[in-house]
């Protein structure tokens, strides 16, 4: 019996609870709390019409709602508030609620308190979704019962009754989820740290500080996996109390995973284990080699190398990550909607050997597009731009053309929406060309998330 969970259930029944955010990810949490008999109010900035499909799924449950532009005006008199990860902890309404005695928390923070199983968690600016997927898949191949959650999967608090101490839980955690986290996983992975989400975080230092919460509460019985090739991630070792392992594509590390003679090698306590050949990895690109190195360093205490090699030979793609959609009239279309930052889009472009027609742009996160512009003039045939960052990406590309003299034949087109952008990209494509959606920006100016953006792109392409 999970005694912590039983105490939680007894205690929360007598509390007045608010859940902020009625997105698809929070619906299972709201349903779970309602089925426990909790007095629950769900809050969301969207109105009834915008939430029609989700509200239909909650019909029949005893839930109160506060919706619309001024939805937080009613955030008064609650004992517990589950905030959505994307909401800052210091908005005035939450500060007021805390001063009035509310416990402001999140689904993930409560899950950490109640989870009886060992937790693997991955964060980073790029590569965290693929690395999380790899760890989950490898552990399953190794015979473990696994749960996948955080930014991917489902809110695991709604499944807490089924999770056993012998299970393994694998989480992808964003800086938003980590911002107020006061507990850490048993095995923590930081894939890399580069500027990101500076529209929400007040500074890059605050962003880095949030990432560090993934290991701050670890003990000397826990493991922290860091990217030896990323200076900011590498320096996190200075603040770690846990056992640090590194992964590197360019150097042989003393503890962790590295590449030698086209093989991934794992080293622990001076002993080396050959894991797999790089050529056996189906996922293209050097960034996916790094993802396998990170996953290897995280899982090698729990599986044998055969499990890692098995997944390398089976997993040929993750949805929305350089996902091949179809070939139509001799033109190939790829969905890289996960490309929500310049560095992520650059990694995707570097997996392709020929110049592409790139669809990019989205919400402005106050990021620098200079380096992306320099790669665009090397890797892009034509550029179609949408969203708030369209002008930034255009300017970075024009500056790169002037600086390098390359890319003078690139046509830069602008569109008001994704369907029009796909149409314009297709109109410029010739037989043998590749069209890639890789926005280098987040989706929230036009979409709920990158999945919705990617799914629309795929639907447009498949309906051609």
Return residue ranges of the chain for CATH 3.40.50.720. Answer: 3-105
Strands 331-335 and 323-328: antiparallel
Neighbouring C-beta atoms of residue 166, cutoff 10 Å: 10
Cα dihedral 102, 107, 112, 116, rounded to 10, equals 120
What is 323-462's CATH topology? 3.90.190
Return residue ranges of the chain for CATH 3.40.1190.10. Answer: 109-314
- pLDDT 10s digits, 218-241: 999 999 999 999 999 999 999 999
H or E element that contains 385: strand 380-385
Selected from 3.40.50.1000, 3.40.1190.10, 3.30.465.10, 3.40.220.10, the CATH number assigned to the domain covering 109-314 reads 3.40.1190.10
The helices-and-strands tally (H runs, E runs) of the chain is 16, 20
Neighbouring C-beta atoms of residue 302, cutoff 10 Å: 17
- pLDDT 10s digits, 45-85: 888 888 888 888 888 889 999 999 899 999 999 999 999 87
- pLDDT 10s digits, 76-112: 999 999 998 778 888 899 999 999 999 999 889 999 9
Radius of gyration of the chain (CA): 23
Return residue ranges of the chain for CATH 3.90.190.20. Answer: 323-462
User: Measured between alpha carbons, how far is 332 from 349 in angstroms, rounded to an integer?
Assistant: 14
Nearest CA-CA partner of 393 in 343, 441, 336, 453? 441
What is 3-105's CATH topology? Rossmann fold (3.40.50)
Q: What percent of the chain lies above the pLDDT cut of 90?
A: 70
């Amino acid at each position: 019996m999970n005694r912590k969970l039983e105490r939680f259930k007894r205690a929360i029944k007598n509390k007045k609870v608010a859940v902020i955010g009625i997105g698809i990810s929070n619906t299972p949490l709201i349903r779970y709390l309602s089925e426990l008999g909790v007095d629950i109010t769900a809050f969301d900035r969207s109105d009834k019409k915008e939430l029609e499909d989700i509200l239909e799924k909650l019909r029949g449950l005893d839930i109160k709602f506060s919706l619309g532009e001024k939805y937080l005006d009613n955030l008064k008199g609650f004992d517990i508030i589950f905030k959505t990860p994307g909401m800052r902890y210091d908005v005035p309404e939450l500060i007021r609620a805390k001063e009035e005695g509310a416990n402001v928390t999140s689904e993930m923070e409560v899950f950490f308190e109640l989870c009886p199983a060992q937790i693997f968690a991955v964060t980073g600016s790029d590569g965290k979704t693929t690395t999380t997927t790899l760890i989950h898949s490898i552990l399953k191949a190794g015979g473990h019962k696994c749960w996948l959650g955080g930014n991917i999967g489902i809110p695991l608090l709604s499944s807490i009754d089924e999770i056993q101490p012998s299970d393994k839980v694998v989480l992808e955690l964003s800086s938003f989820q980590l911002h107020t986290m006061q507990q850490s996983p048993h095995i923590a992975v930081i894939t890399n740290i580069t500027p990101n989400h500076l529209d929400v975080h007040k500074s890059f230092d605050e962003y880095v500080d949030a990432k560090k919460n993934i290991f701050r509460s670890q003990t000397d019985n826990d493991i922290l996996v860091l990217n030896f090739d990323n200076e900011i991630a590498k320096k996190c070792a200075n603040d770690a109390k846990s056992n640090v392992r590194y992964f590197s594509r360019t150097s042989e590390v003393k503890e962790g995973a590295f590449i030698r003679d086209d093989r991934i090698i794992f080293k622990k306590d001076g002993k080396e284990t050959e894991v797999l050949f790089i050529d056996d990895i189906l996922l293209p690109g050097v960034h996916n080699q790094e993802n396998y190195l990170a996953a290897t360093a995280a899982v090698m205490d729990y599986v044998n190398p055969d499990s890692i090699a098995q997944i390398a030979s089976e997993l040929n793609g993750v949805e929305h990550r350089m996902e091949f959609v179809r070939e139509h009239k001799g033109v190939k279309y790829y969905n890289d909607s996960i490309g929500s930052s310049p560095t992520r889009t650059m990694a995707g472009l570097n997996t392709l050997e020929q110049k592409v027609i790139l669809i990019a742009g989205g919400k402005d996160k106050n990021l620098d597009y200079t380096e992306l512009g320099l790669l665009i003039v090397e890797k892009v045939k034509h550029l179609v731009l949408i969203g708030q960052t369209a002008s930034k990406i255009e300017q970075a590309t024009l500056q790169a053309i002037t600086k390098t003299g390359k890319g003078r034949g690139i046509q830069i087109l602008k569109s008001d929406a994704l369907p029009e952008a796909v149409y314009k990209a297709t109109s410029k494509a010739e037989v043998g060309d590749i069209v890639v959606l890789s926005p280098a920006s987040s989706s929230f100016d036009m979409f709920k998330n990158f999945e919705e953006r990617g799914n629309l792109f795929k639907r447009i392409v498949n309906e051609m």
